[in-house]
Structure 1
Amino acid sequence: MATAKPTPTDSLSFCLAQLTAAAGEGLGGGKDTATNETPLGRALLALRTRHVKAAGGIERFRARGGLRPLLALLRRASAAGPAPSQVCPGSTPLSVQSAASAGPAPSSDSSPSIASSSSPSPPARLRKTLDLALSILANCCTEGACRAEVRRLGGILPLVTILQYVKTDSIQNRTARALGNLAMEPESCDNIHSAGAVPLLVESLMACQDSQCLQSVVRALRNLADSPQHRLALAQQGAVRPLAELLAAAPDPELTLALVRALLELSRGCSRACAEQLSLGGGLGPLVSLASHPKKAVREASILILANLCAQGLVRPALGNAGGVEVLLGELQRRRGPSGAGLASQQPLVRAVCLLCREAINRARLRDAGGLELLMGLLRDPCASAWHPRVVAALVGFLYDTGALGRLQVLGLVPLLAGQLCGEAGDEEEEGREAASWDFPEEQTPERVEAGSFRSLRSWLISEGYAAGPGDISPDWSPERCPPLPPPEPAEPASPTRGTALLRTPRALRTPGPGRSPATTEEPWGREGPALLLLSRFSQAPDPSGALVTGPALCGLLAYVTGAPGPPNPRALRILARLTCNPACLEAFVRSYGAALLRAWLVLGVAPDDWPILRARPLSRRSQHQHQHRELGEMLLQNLSVQAESPFGVGALTHLLLSGSPEDRVACALTLPFICRKPSLWRRLLLDQGGLRLLLSALTQPAPHPLFLFFAADSLSCLQGLVSPTRSLAFPPAIPLDLDLPSPCLYEPLLGPAPIPDPDLHFLLDSGLRLPAQRAASSTASPFFRALLAGNFAEAQMDLVPLRGLSPSAAWPVLHHLHGCRGCGASLGPIPPPGQPLLGSEAEEALEAAGRFLLPGLEEELEEAVGHIHLGPQCSPESVGEVFRLGRPRLAAHCARWTLGPGQCPRKRALALVGLVEAAGEEAGPLTEALLTVVMGIEQGGKSPSLDY
């Protein structure tokens, strides 16, 4: 087969020479361009179809200098456009001189133009030449080096001029394609915007009918939307509405994909102009329909456009009417499903759904479509913690939707809100003013003139509780400039009566300073503001106990009040005061150990995180606010006391104690010392009706609350103060201090080399040690030794009497006691130092020996010695359990007295009670009796009150 004969156009050099000649370079004089049109056409065709498309062809074309003559050719073509009077009114005409001087021209000669400037449309040969040249340039601009070279040679302005003057679809198509490729770099994009290409592309978009040309124009506009500034410029120059109108015309699939991709870029950070044009162009309905398109790219782009549009409040109602709420909600539900996408893809949809909650019409649609459940799922998801503040702020929109609030409460919103009060702030950025609710469109009121519509709005705000009076709102007020305020909350009663608690805030925690009137005081609105507003709304229900008077909710509120870096929001304080003043919440405070929690956290300064290991916190912060928190806690407990001592409260507490479940009865018995100050009431419930013994018996049972033993220790201490108020102020020392001043020792003279008097008896220990003794003194000291040494036993005739099972250290205090020593210090000998176990020690052996030898005085002295060493003021709470394990009733009473002492640290008291419970094990009787003895003051010889059930 014969090989095809080579042609001149197979050579890149030949083609470049033809291109250079046509551009007026390298040729002398003014050659007639018409004589070169056929060779030029063949060269351009070869360049497009063969040389540029070959591997590395674009790089070779650029390296051989092909871009300079190609741009010169296009520059001459741009100078051949019609006069400005023949240009369409919507275009931006460019003069021939400016077009010719825009870039570095190859030469300064004035060779003839390719076509006459008087012709309104280029001839066929010129169109073909432009088509080929523009196609080559567009292909070259797919590479970055060529784009930079075109920009350096000033090739953008000729393209814009061609786009302006040559209205042929094929030329418009290739020019837009070249501009679109150039716009892939920010520097070129800036130059294209500056050259005025956007209005020309918009004009072409509205005039062209060819799908390929429209796709190129749409792509160019999409690439030109590379920054917020450029997107805003495109929207302001009317680029969005034609795109929306084309989308509404149901174009072919390829153009549809190009349109949604362009609209997606233009709607990023959606501006007001973009939203208005898209809505006016009828694009909302088609976008909602395309959200179910079979092609994934079209479907996802449409959904993201709808999400971007939600940033503009003015379009959200129309978006909801078009079905956008259901589309966005359904897509977010799908992405959060088991087979859904990651968190990054959910972020724009979460933002959109939250913004849709700002209008009432969309809130209704969202509620009916399962949006409340979705938002609650986001709040429960720890992986979505960055969105939690945004979600809580969105739920504020349902503040006056009673049905939605009820549903949210059932779904568990309250504890989640309480947890949000002290959570970490999310990374979401603030929304702009244009994202504000369109239920309250911003009014233009120049010169602060109050229009009639403003007066109507102000009246509505006052009636709905957003403002206290006309003075709170100025004519330039708008909802997005200030946080929403809650409805008017109950004011402090002027003269509270018996049975009505005081709804007030501690003076130290009030925000207004001296001289500031309530009408001009603005409450702080931090990141916790939305959560507190919702919690306040829940607290205003007739019976908020089921949601708010629970452990998680109270812990969240108290953690915020005590942990806020500055003064806490007064709304949180009012919520707590409102709850403690509501009679319907009394039983809930008792059942949930809420009163004990208030006292522990606020009055005693011990939070749940501080138990049992003390949490490291700055001492300055604790000391700075400790007095304020104590004042708040005492006020809240006083509110509960007023409720408890009312006829309703007495009946409720009596019912709980006598007829409640076992857990409720224990909680009631524990709470009574905190909220009952009337002696007749607490004596009847705790003493006559067995509440105290019920509480004591529950100590060794499984704890119904993590802080139960801490609460119980505090409750028993408070009850002790109620039973013996004077004794609580000056409690006698637990251990006599006589041991600090020892008396003379009477046994020591028998131990010297010349004993006085001579011992007539020796006791032999198991270790072989012989201890001298006086038979008469030993027989007198104890009935045991009197029978042993002066009776009919063989030991009565022996001079060396064995004492079995006794170590020297344990025998030492026995011998001292037998010879009359009282308080000489011998009893301290067998006592180990604090921190060492007592069980199995010589102290336990000495106590056992004192009991075996019938020496009650020695037993008491040894017990006092144990208490002196192990139950001193500076001893650790762990020593209390060690002492209790000895099983001595008097030592058990000493342990209870040390634990419940009036000056004892609350945390040490609770740790000591923990040790007592662990030491008691299943034998609850000794511990119960010891605590009962101390609480009721029986060890002082007083008559015990009635403790019947």
Structure 2
Amino acid sequence: MAAGKPTPTDSLSFCLAQLTAAAGEGLGGVKDTATNETPLGRALLALRTRHVKAAGGIERFRARGGLLPLLALLRRASAAGPAPSEAGPGSAPSSVESAASAGPTPSSGSTPSVASLSTSSPPARLRKTLDLALSILANCCTEGACRAEVRRLGGILPLVTILQCVKTDSIQNRTARALGNLAMEPESCRAIHSAGAVPLLVESLTACQDSQCRQSVVRAIRNLADSPQHRLALAQQGAVRPLAELLATVPDPALTLALVRALLELSRGCSRACAEQLSLGGGLSPLVSLASHPKKAVREATILILANLCAQGLVRPALGNAGGVEVLLGELQRRRSPSGASPASQQPLVRAVCLLCREAINRARLRDAGGLELLMGLLRDPRASTWHPRVVAALVGFLYDTGALGRLQALGLVPLLAGQLCGEAGDEEEEGREAASWDFPEERTPERVEAGSFQSLRSWLISEGYVAGPGDISPDRFPECCPLPPPAAEPTSPAPGPALLRTPRALRSLGRSPAALEEPWGREGPALLLLSRFSQAPDPSGALVTGPALCGLLAYVTGAPGPPSPRALRILARLTCNPACLEAFVRSYGAALLRAWLVLGVAPDDWPTLRARPLSRHSQHRELGEMLLQNLTVQAESPFGVGALTHLLLSGSPEDRVACALTLPFICRKPSLWRRLLLDQGGLRVLLAALTRPAPHPLFLFFAADSLFCLQGLASPTATPALPRAVPGDREVPSPCLYEPLLGPAPTPAPDLHFLLDSGLQLPAQRAASSTASPFFRALLAGSFAEAHMDLVPLRGLSPSAAWPILHHLHGCRGCGASLGPIPPPGQPLLGSEAEEALEAAGRFLLPGLEEELEEAVGHIHLGPQGGPESVGQVFRLGRPRLAAHCARWTLGPERCPRKRALALVGLVEAADALLSDLETTTSHMPRSGAPKEQPPEPLTSPLSYGHQPQMASGQSSGASGDKDHLYR
């Protein structure tokens, strides 16, 4: 078929000319209406169907100035009706401002046409003209440049006036669509709110029956909710309730999607007005039903609406009755599954579930639906660390639910709470007062203000278990005008007694009782409140008296930036005063941990590498630790405690016996008790035997060193351990050296003997002095051996440094400083050194005095002021009994810090393990069965070592027995 002939409307210029002419003359005119309006209608239709919809058509229409006559045409249409006012949201239109914005007053010829628009149903021809013009404007407003141009030309007020005056569904639809497109920019959105369009849109939503019109109005309302202020204005002007009512009655899928999208925007940061209107409009049940909608967009938007509604306490009970708890909990469980959504999408649901824990009716539903397990899973998940404070605060709602608390304890809540005390603060936003529990709505009335003293008293009574809940005590029973009783004067010297429990300085305030103290409530407040509730159980030992729980409490008490909460101190005091917790403190090394962390100031992180910590409050921590240990002492020395400790030590498992033996010096002060348990019943032997086995606790050796130190203090409270004697070499005036005259160029007296070392060095000596110094040299040099007639006697296996103190000692030197020569400085190993060689030679040559002098020198250098803990193990490895005693005295000395004592004990244990390994290696090569064969007597030899065989004197037989007996006596 041949193409149609071109028409004038194919030209954009012709259409714009018709539009401009109509805008200048008005919709009516003095001429014939049919001849004047038919070209305008054809031009508008061509603009909408061809020119604007073509590629780049909107931009060309705007560039050719088409928006100005189009808006002028709409402004003339809205000039007769009441124009909207810009005074504020929701105000009535103003005809004065509308007329001013319309420009010159139209001619009298246009009056009938304009007047006809003020009716609710204009003539069909005029309605068609408005429909086309509004459709063109709505299409143009889909582009940002056109929206800015319409706003600059003042095109919003005419649209609002048309929305108010013309109640035809098609015109209302296109006007709402144009306003919705304009509202996509914040500036236009503010102008629409100021023009009072919201009440008109709400009215149109309730009045119209057309689904398309409703969708356009709903979309306009959604776009107008672009900020918290605008969302609040929409809710206050009643825009939410019609949406909820339509949601409950209209089955149209497209409208349903538009409604949930609008409600999602309006419920962001849900205000009280929004929640009230949605609830009054009956929208809760439809929303819960739509949560299982087959369409994903509807389903996800609905779930987010329900999550947003949880921010308002007044609607949460009704939401729970409608089934919202199960819906939100199930969705969160699905998203937390391995194939679920990202953590960011879980955040609103976590917040909603936590808020649902604030009402008792929802807590019951949440508990029955597996919510406790879900919350515990969140606490265990390190990826959800930012939500942990919110989850812990939600669990406070179960504070008086015994069944839920038991379930939470079985799921491992206590160590997680202890870990939360010193964790990083989350980034969660603070909830407003509208999110508070609706179980106590009267507490939100501003007229009723409780005094701080009553609040602190009620908090203390609840936390201590004297009342079951906030409702058990009312401020009406305690008038605020009643003054507090005067404080009792503290006695200067309290009467001593085993049951006296002192209050730490952190709990004391000048003249005020703990009940009157203001209870601080920081980020750790919820966790401490739950832990306090757990500690009030008859036997809280299974949950609270464990390593993780105690470490968390102590880390908070010692690491809080400010004064710790008195509730944490009361928890520790309550646990140490409970007889049911005594065995748990022993088994978990809790008493040793209290002493190490509080009294000694050594935390687990400080061992074995020391970390710098502030010591500003160490005295307060020390006082607290001594008080807690005193509480445990009271329990341990009671008849029940004595029986429990005896049972652990005699009948407990090997681990319990070790823990009991280690703990006894910390909590037993009665000599009859600790002597019986540690000495008579073998507790000390159990502890010492455990040192060579794998450590049952990371701080076991530190605890053991401290326990042995305390035991030494119990056994000798006033005695000071003996220190190694100062060697004469350290004196200001050393003893004179008797061997030095033999070394000069003119020795006096002249040496009659030289000792030959392996290195070839010859050392002068006096035969008489050497023979009288040792039975070995007396037999060697004055007996029947060939060396007795030799002037050069070999001494095998001796270095010059090791031989130097031996020669000095043989010639009578005592304290001349020669014993210091072969000893290496601190920090260098002793095993394999010349000091070990000299000690071995002194023993081989039967010089006990020299052995003692060398040992004293080793102890003074390596265990003196310049020696460190690492030297203790080196000295112990020499295997000398006297040096081992010096090592023990150094380790348990009162002048050592606890950390050095523990490091020294570590060295001793490692050295003992090495010696035992060497011994086992040696014994493994010995015959395992049968008696050793009797060996024939050896020929008489001098035991010089290293296989050296001394020569016999000529004419003597090897069977002479007189000298042999003398040698071995």
Give the TM-score normalised by structure 2.
0.88
Q: 2:571 — aligned with what?
A: 575
Give 2:721's match in structure 1, choosing from 731, 749, 760.
Answer: 731
Q: 1:161 — aligned with what?
A: 161
Give 2:766's match in structure 1, choosing from 763, 774, 778.
Answer: 774
Structure-2 separation of matches of 1:379 and 1:602:
28
> SS state of the match for residue 718, structure 2?
helix
Q: 2:15 — aligned with what?
A: 15
Deviates more, 1:863-872 or 1:735-744: 735-744
1:763 and 2:755 correspond: yes
1:88-119: CA deviation from partner (whole Å, max 9, x where unpaired): xx996535433232x36488767615443464
1:505 and 2:495 correspond: no
Deviates more, 1:840-849 or 1:114-123: 114-123
- Number of matched pairs: 892
Structure-1 separation of matches of 2:745 and 2:108:
141
Q: Report the residue type matching 1:149 in the other structure.
A: E
Give 1:791's match in structure 2, choosing from 783, 793, 812.
Answer: 783
Structure-2 separation of matches of 1:474 and 1:267:
42
> SS state of the match for residue 521, structure 2?
coil
Deviates more, 1:865-874 or 1:214-223: 865-874
Q: 1:362 — aligned with what?
A: 362
Structure-1 separation of matches of 2:91 and 2:601:
75
Q: Is contact 1:115-1:126 (8 Å) kept?
A: no
Structure-1 separation of matches of 2:174 and 2:660:
86
Give the C-alpha shift of residue 505 in structure 1.
2.9
Q: 1:98 — aligned with what?
A: 97
Q: Structure 2 matches for 1:414-425, cutoff 5 A?
A: 414-425=414-425
Is the alpha carbon distance of 1:854 and 1:551 closer, same or farther for their aligned partners in structure 2, counting shifts above 3 Å?
Answer: same
Give the C-alpha shift of residue 848 in structure 1.
1.0
Structure-2 separation of matches of 1:874 and 1:614:
20
Structure-2 separation of matches of 1:497 and 1:825:
58
Q: 1:819 — aligned with what?
A: 811
Q: 1:124 — aligned with what?
A: 124
Q: Structure 2 matches for 1:275-286, cutoff 5 A?
A: 275-286=275-286
Q: Structure 2 matches for 1:198-597, cutoff 5 A?
A: 198-442=198-442, 464-466=468-470, 501-502=499-500, 504-506=502-504, 508-510=505-507, 513-516=509-512, 520-597=516-593
Give the C-alpha shift of residue 470 in structure 1.
5.2
1:924-944: CA deviation from partner (whole Å, max 9, x where unpaired): 6999xxxxxxxxxxxxxxxxx
Give the C-alpha shift of residue 466 in structure 1.
3.6
Q: 1:612 — aligned with what?
A: 608
Q: Report the residue type matching 1:412 in the other structure.
A: G
Unaligned runs of 5+ in 2: 481-489, 920-969
Is the alpha carbon distance of 1:865 and 1:446 closer, same or farther for their aligned partners in structure 2, counting shifts above 3 Å?
Answer: closer
Give the C-alpha shift of residue 155 in structure 1.
0.3
Q: 1:721 — aligned with what?
A: 713
Q: Report the residue type matching 1:112 in the other structure.
A: S
Give the C-alpha shift of residue 561 in structure 1.
0.5
Structure-1 separation of matches of 2:342 and 2:634:
53
Is the alpha carbon distance of 1:39 and 1:689 closer, same or farther for their aligned partners in structure 2, counting shifts above 3 Å?
Answer: same
Give 1:866's match in structure 2, choosing from 855, 858, 878.
Answer: 858
Give 1:683's match in structure 2, choosing from 653, 675, 678.
Answer: 675
Larger Rg: 2
Q: Structure 2 matches for 1:884-923, cutoff 5 A?
A: 884-921=876-913, 923=915
Q: Report the residue type matching 1:278 in the other structure.
A: L
Q: Is contact 1:504-1:577 (8 Å) kept?
A: no
Give the C-alpha shift of residue 442 in structure 1.
3.1
Structure-2 separation of matches of 1:466 and 1:440:
10
Give the C-alpha shift of residue 653 in structure 1.
0.4
1:138-166: CA deviation from partner (whole Å, max 9, x where unpaired): 00000000000000000001000000011
Give the C-alpha shift of residue 791 in structure 1.
1.0
> SS state of the match for residue 21, structure 2?
helix
1:115-138: CA deviation from partner (whole Å, max 9, x where unpaired): 434644210011111111111100
Q: Is contact 1:257-1:298 (8 Å) kept?
A: yes
Q: Report the residue type matching 2:820 in the other structure.
A: L
Structure-2 separation of matches of 1:120 and 1:326:
48
Q: Report the residue type matching 1:35 in the other structure.
A: T
Is the alpha carbon distance of 1:394 and 1:870 closer, same or farther for their aligned partners in structure 2, counting shifts above 3 Å?
Answer: same
Q: Is contact 2:261-2:301 (8 Å) kept?
A: yes
Q: Is contact 1:147-1:182 (8 Å) kept?
A: yes
Q: 2:42 — aligned with what?
A: 42
Structure-1 separation of matches of 2:385 and 2:672:
51
Is the alpha carbon distance of 1:924 and 1:716 closer, same or farther for their aligned partners in structure 2, counting shifts above 3 Å?
Answer: farther
1:693-740: CA deviation from partner (whole Å, max 9, x where unpaired): 11011011100000000000000000011111121xx33323335431
1:338-357: CA deviation from partner (whole Å, max 9, x where unpaired): 01111111111001000000
1:553-603: CA deviation from partner (whole Å, max 9, x where unpaired): 000000000011111100000000000000000000000000000000000
Give the C-alpha shift of residue 743 in structure 1.
1.0
Is the alpha carbon distance of 1:475 and 1:382 closer, same or farther for their aligned partners in structure 2, counting shifts above 3 Å?
Answer: farther
Q: Report the residue type matching 1:707 in the other structure.
A: L
Q: Is contact 1:539-1:575 (8 Å) kept?
A: yes
Is the alpha carbon distance of 1:443 and 1:679 closer, same or farther for their aligned partners in structure 2, counting shifts above 3 Å?
Answer: closer
Structure-2 separation of matches of 1:498 and 1:210:
90
Deviates more, 1:250-259 or 1:467-476: 467-476
Q: Report the residue type matching 2:115 in the other structure.
A: S
Deviates more, 1:765-774 or 1:882-891: 882-891
Structure-2 separation of matches of 1:119 and 1:356:
51
Structure-2 separation of matches of 1:689 and 1:926:
32
Q: Is contact 1:499-1:646 (8 Å) kept?
A: no
Structure-2 separation of matches of 1:425 and 1:572:
18
Q: Report the residue type matching 1:510 in the other structure.
A: L
1:846-892: CA deviation from partner (whole Å, max 9, x where unpaired): 11111111111111111111111111123211111111111111111
C-alpha RMSD of matched pairs (Å): 2.8
Q: Report the residue type matching 1:99 in the other structure.
A: S
Q: 2:110 — aligned with what?
A: 112
Q: 2:927 — aligned with what?
A: none
Is the alpha carbon distance of 1:30 and 1:755 closer, same or farther for their aligned partners in structure 2, counting shifts above 3 Å?
Answer: farther
Deviates more, 1:916-925 or 1:641-650: 916-925
Give the C-alpha shift of residue 920 in structure 1.
1.4
Q: Is contact 1:499-1:643 (8 Å) kept?
A: no
> SS state of the match for residue 726, structure 1?
coil
Structure-1 separation of matches of 2:232 and 2:773:
107
Is the alpha carbon distance of 1:34 and 1:116 closer, same or farther for their aligned partners in structure 2, counting shifts above 3 Å?
Answer: farther
Give the C-alpha shift of residue 55 in structure 1.
0.7
Q: Report the residue type matching 2:670 in the other structure.
A: K
Q: Report the residue type matching 1:436 in the other structure.
A: A
Is the alpha carbon distance of 1:444 and 1:849 closer, same or farther for their aligned partners in structure 2, counting shifts above 3 Å?
Answer: closer
1:59-115: CA deviation from partner (whole Å, max 9, x where unpaired): 00000000000001111111244899xxxxx996535433232x3648876761544
1:747-801: CA deviation from partner (whole Å, max 9, x where unpaired): 0111111111110000001111110000011111111111111111111110000
Q: 2:702 — aligned with what?
A: 710
1:637 and 2:629 correspond: yes
Give the C-alpha shift of residue 449 in structure 1.
11
Q: Is contact 1:837-1:882 (8 Å) kept?
A: yes
> SS state of the match for residue 763, structure 2?
strand
Structure-2 separation of matches of 1:25 and 1:337:
68
> SS state of the match for residue 702, structure 1?
coil
Is the alpha carbon distance of 1:625 and 1:926 closer, same or farther for their aligned partners in structure 2, counting shifts above 3 Å?
Answer: farther
1:494-515: CA deviation from partner (whole Å, max 9, x where unpaired): x999998555530x2126x424
Structure-2 separation of matches of 1:297 and 1:346:
17
Structure-2 separation of matches of 1:324 and 1:846:
87
Q: 2:844 — aligned with what?
A: 852
Is the alpha carbon distance of 1:58 and 1:500 closer, same or farther for their aligned partners in structure 2, counting shifts above 3 Å?
Answer: farther
Give the C-alpha shift of residue 916 in structure 1.
1.1
> SS state of the match for residue 735, structure 1?
coil
Structure-2 separation of matches of 1:209 and 1:79:
27
